[in-house]
Structures are given as structure tokens and as C-alpha cells.
Amino acid sequence: MAGCGLQMLNAKISISATWLWGLPLAYTLAFVLERGLLGVWEGQTLSTLMRQGLLFFFAMRINWAEMSAKARECTTSRVCLLLSASSKPQKSWSGAQKRGRRRSAARRRSGSGSRARTRRRRMRSDV
């Protein structure tokens, strides 16, 4: 559903299955029918099965030819390409920054940083 742009439908189904069906069903099975912890598990399992069934039902109703045409249009359209190009760029590290980060990580692993030197000096002076 997320790949088709139907995230809101997925969210609505998941929230309703959990809060409107799962919890009341778990409460009913656990406390009203006195099944205890097993009733809670059964209620949550049934709500998960219901959610998956609804998602499957809606996935079968999607016109996949239309969805693929929209995706093809969006990948070749100048508007979609401009929108994707205007998104915030990822931070790139320069070569020196990468080397510095690697060295400091190696020092932390090997124990050769300033804290480790101070610790070794203290241990020598205690002896």
C-alpha cells in the first residue's frame, strides 16, 4: 500500500483494527469470557488477521495497470524529476573528515586516546 501512495488507507486500517477491534476483543476474551492471558493473545491475533485481510482486500481492488502507468509517468515527467531534485541533499563528508572520524573510532577501539594514556599513567604511578 505504501508504494502505491495509499499510506493513509494503510494507517486507517491498522489503527482501526488495533484500537476499535483488537483491544475490545482482547478485553472481552480475557475478562468477560475469563480466558485470561490467552484471551488477550487471541484478541490481538484476530485483530492482526482482520487487518491483513482488509489490506489484502484493498490490494486486490487496486487497478495495477493504472498504478504502473502513474509510476511510469512520474519517473519520466519533468515535474516529478524537478520535485525529487529539490529535496534536501544528504550531507557529504570530505575526505579529511572521513579519515578523522575513522582515526578517532580506531583510537576508541584500541584504547590509545587521551583518556587511555591518562589511565595508564595513573596505573604506573600507583605501582
Give the CA count within 13 Å in the CB-facing half-sphere of 12: 7
pLDDT at 82 over 70: no
What backbone torsions phi and psi does residue 107 show, to the nearest 5 degrees?
A: -65, -40
Q: Which of 13, 20, 45, 48 is nearest to 2 (CA)?
A: 13
pLDDT for position 70: 82
**Letter for the amino acid at 99?**
R
pLDDT at 33 over 90: yes
What pTM was computed for the model? 0.55
Confidence of residue 34 (pLDDT cuts 50, 70, 90): very high
pLDDT for position 27: 95
Confidence of residue 30 (pLDDT cuts 50, 70, 90): very high
Cα 80 to chain centroid, rounded: 25
Cell numbers at 127, concatenated: 605501582
pLDDT at 25 over 60: yes
